[in-house]
């Protein structure tokens, strides 16, 4: 097929008889139900009928999923077009529906290609006109999500901390962000004891990337922090063979934050946003940090490192303390932090822990809007005793094997000064998919880009209305 293929949304509650050729669809087993497609000849080229389910019950999520199926079905074609003529959904703004479809077709077609050189041009014709901005927004978000999926799928021998810092430099120059990279010597002199300790067992040097979008200037509106362990062997507290196999994904938080920073200029131009990405490889080399070592963190607190596989909280704590020095209006971190989060919530939902109800609500709202699920978890004070050490201010190892997502949250909370709203998303579950579902392929999911995109856009709208 060389001609352009057109996609047409068909809702199951529209009578097919009123459409040309509609009588035949039923015979072919197509009635517009979600999950159905039918390729048919059209006057000016092939047409893919895409079942969307009921027009009444349609949501951004259901449109995104149906569109993803179309995107996957047609992924081998080079010229595609979505026909929005007569397109309307009950209970959803037209722009949101168009954005969901643009996201879906691009997310659904994703495939990790190790040999690929640079981003592919979209095969989808831009609709232009009134629908144009919504389509562009959806396409931008999906393209960045696919970029993040590529980063997380890349093997750890390719995507080292230095390589990932290089990608941050490229992204900064593409997106017009300021960038500062703290190299190991500066991390040492700056007392980033956690990042230095986790990085010292590897031949790959650690660093900390800081990205800034100044927006309208003034007080920093939001700091984003992402766990960037390019490979987590566990260090001297070495993981077993099964545990090691998936640990290239341990930088998914940093990748999602980098993705969000690539979008901030387009989705939230007025917002003053900073990102902090501590990048390390956690290895048991000769200089590795040893269980029982005590380090001094960026905020001056000391930590006894009893288990070197609880490394995420160490690098995040330094980055959170650095972010807090800006006195931002809010801090949000994303991290593949605990197995317990996967056990509790499964593969599709992130754990949400926060010291601030309003920020927690804003994140839950962004999750609902974007279709990337979160679920709130508590941080009960009685668990703080799990953080105690006899020789330092804190231990990184909670003695108890229960509630590890919560004790991880409590550890991080100790590095955010009171009065700064902060939220932590444990994305150990949704960062990676054993098998594909909906708009998500098997492997790296790009989780967090859509959620952060919705959060940024919402905060920018709030800022604009409060300064008006
Ligand atoms: N990187 C892991 C957590 C993780 C698990 C990420 C699954 C992605 C998918 C983290 O650093 C870790 O090792 N946490 C452990 C420590 C324990 C096994 C020693 C935990 O969650 O308890
Ligand atoms: Zn670990
Ligand atoms: Zn880890």
- Each residue's pLDDT tens digit in the chain (468 positions)? 457 999 999 999 886 666 777 788 888 999 999 999 999 998 889 999 999 999 888 999 999 999 999 999 999 999 999 999 988 888 999 999 999 999 999 999 999 998 887 778 999 999 999 999 999 999 999 999 999 999 999 999 999 999 999 999 999 999 999 999 999 999 999 999 999 999 999 999 999 999 999 999 999 999 999 999 999 999 999 999 999 999 999 999 999 999 999 999 999 999 999 999 999 999 999 999 999 999 999 999 999 999 999 999 999 999 999 999 999 999 999 999 999 999 999 999 999 999 999 999 999 999 999 999 999 999 999 999 999 999 999 999 999 999 999 999 999 999 999 999 999 999 999 999 999 999 999 999 999 999 999 999 999 999 999 987
- Cβ of 424 closer than 6 Å to ligand 1, yes or no, is no
Q: Ligand 3 center to residue 408 CA distance, Å?
A: 12
Give the pair of three-digit tokens for residue 461: 């709208």
Q: How many helices (H) and strands (E) does the chain have?
A: 14, 18
Query: What letter would DSSP give residue 128?
Result: -
CA 377/CA 187 separation, integer angstroms: 32
CA 145/CA 447 separation, integer angstroms: 8
- Cβ of 405 closer than 6 Å to ligand 1, yes or no, is no
Name the residue of 194, 198, 232, 283 whose CB sits within 8 Å of the most ligand 1 atoms, as the mutation to test its pocket.
Answer: 232
Contact yes or no for 316/296 (Cβ under 8 A): no
Examine the residue annotation and report whether 149 is marked as an active-site residue of this protein: no
SS3 158: coil
CA 101/CA 134 separation, integer angstroms: 10
Q: Ligand 2 center to residue 445 CA distance, Å?
A: 20
Closest approach atom of ligand 1 to CA 249: 8
- Cβ of 339 closer than 6 Å to ligand 1, yes or no, is yes
Task: Output the pTM of the full model.
Answer: 0.98
Ligand 3 is an ion; its neighbours by CB within 5 Å are: 229, 232, 250, 312
SS3 241: helix
């Amino acid at each position: 097929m060389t001609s352009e293929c057109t996609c047409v949304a068909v809702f199951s509650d529209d009578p097919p008889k009123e459409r040309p050729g509609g009588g035949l669809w039923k015979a072919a087993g197509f009635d517009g139900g979600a999950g159905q497609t039918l390729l048919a000849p059209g006057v000016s080229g092939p047409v893919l009928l895409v079942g969307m389910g009921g027009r009444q019950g349609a949501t951004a999520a259901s449109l995104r999923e149906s569109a993803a199926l179309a995107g996957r079905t047609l992924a081998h074609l080079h010229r595609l077009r979505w026909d929005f003529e007569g397109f309307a959904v009950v209970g959803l703004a037209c722009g949101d529906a168009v954005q969901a479809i643009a996201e879906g077709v691009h997310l659904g077609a994703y495939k990790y290609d190790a040999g690929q050189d640079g981003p592919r041009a979209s095969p989808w014709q831009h609709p232009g006109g009134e629908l144009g901005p919504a389509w562009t927004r959806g396409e931008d978000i999906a393209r960045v999500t696919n970029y993040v999926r590529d980063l997380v799928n890349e093997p750890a021998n390719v995507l080292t901390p230095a390589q990932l810092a290089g990608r941050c430099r490229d992204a900064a120059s593409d997106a017009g962000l300021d960038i500062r990279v703290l190299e190991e010597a500066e991390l040492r002199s700056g007392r980033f004891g956690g990042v230095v300790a986790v990085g010292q067992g590897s031949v790959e040097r650690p660093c900390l990337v800081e990205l800034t979008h100044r927006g309208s200037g003034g007080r920093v509106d939001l700091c984003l922090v992402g766990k960037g362990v390019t490979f987590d062997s566990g260090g001297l507290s070495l993981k077993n063979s099964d545990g090691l196999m998936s640990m290239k994904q341990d930088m998914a938080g940093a990748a999602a934050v980098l993705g969000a920073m690539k979008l901030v200029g387009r989705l939230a131009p007025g917002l003053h946003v900073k990102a902090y990405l501590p990048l390390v490889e956690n290895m048991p080399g000769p200089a590795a940090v040893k269980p029982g070592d005590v380090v001094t963190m960026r905020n001056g607190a000391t930590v006894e490192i009893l288990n070197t596989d609880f490394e995420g909280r160490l690098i995040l704590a330094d980055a959170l303390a650095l972010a807090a020095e800006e006195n931002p209006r809010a801090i949000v971190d994303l991290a593949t932090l605990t197995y317990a989060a996967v056990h509790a919530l499964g593969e599709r939902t992130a754990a949400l822990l926060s010291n601030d109800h309003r920020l927690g609500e804003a994140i839950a709202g962004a999750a609902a809007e974007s279709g990337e699920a979160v679920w709130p978890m508590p941080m009960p004070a009685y668990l703080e005793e799990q953080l105690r050490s006899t020789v330092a201010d804190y231990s990184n190892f909670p003695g108890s094997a229960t509630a590890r997502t919560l004790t991880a949250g409590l550890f991080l909370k100790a590095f955010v000064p009171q009065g700064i709203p902060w939220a932590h998303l444990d994305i150990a579950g949704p960062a990676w998919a054993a098998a594909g579902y909906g708009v998500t392929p098997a492997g790296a999911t790009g989780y967090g880009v859509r959620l952060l995109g919705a959060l940024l856009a919402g905060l920018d709208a709030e800022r604009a209305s409060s300064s008006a």
